Amino acid sequence: MPQLNLPEELRRNVLLSMYRTADELDWEFLGNPGKTVQYGRWIDDPSIGGELIAFASEKDIRVWFKDVPMKEYSRAQEGIGKFVPYVRRRFRGAGEIVQSLCGNGWSIVPGSVEGKPNHCVATNGDKRRYVCWGRSGRLNDLIWASINEAIDSSSRPGIVVTTRDGETLTQHERDRHLRIANHCGVDLTHLHRTMIENPDLLKP
């Protein structure tokens, strides 16, 4: 992976600009052809590719786009990782996830929020539970992570399958998810989330 040694101000401005455009394009719903087109537009943009070309080749810049900022984009929208301050909108965070699965009286164990898949440890002050979440396309990863956790834990892990505005699941899909989770010995619920303005957004 190319490492671009960029001046801090340039790096900040490039990331803010890229993430603003990604938000306008609804990047997570954009197909690969559309993403490829946008990578080209960023390369051709004088304020992005035109500035970065002084630090790397066009090929390395394109790879950097894919493997650094845009690889971290969805995690940043979840409030995870060091790229969070650059996204204009984000989800409310793991607290919303924990509440939907565990109910009132449960909160996040500080420092337990991580990715691959997105997960945390929840507590009610007495018990602890592993909770992971993601979109339905990641269910295989979520099930596998939960099963591995269940083997080493005395508490039943949980999965939250999330949807966002513009995305729905059929009742058949929901029922199927619940049957799979029950068969594997983990809890599962569904949560539809709406994004909010990012309170941690950096100013250009």
Tell me the one-letter amino acid at 72: E
Q: What is the pLDDT of residue 158?
A: 97
Q: What is the pLDDT of residue 153?
A: 84
Domain ranges of the chain: 8-90, 94-197
Q: Which tokens belong to 63?
A: 């790879």
Q: What is the pLDDT of residue 124?
A: 95
User: Alpha carbon of 53 to those of 28, 89, 147: distances in Å?
Assistant: 27, 29, 46
Task: State pLDDT tens for residues 28-69.
Answer: 999 999 999 999 999 999 999 999 999 999 999 999 999 999
**Across 64-84, average pLDDT:** 94
Cα gap 65→18, rounded to integer Å: 9
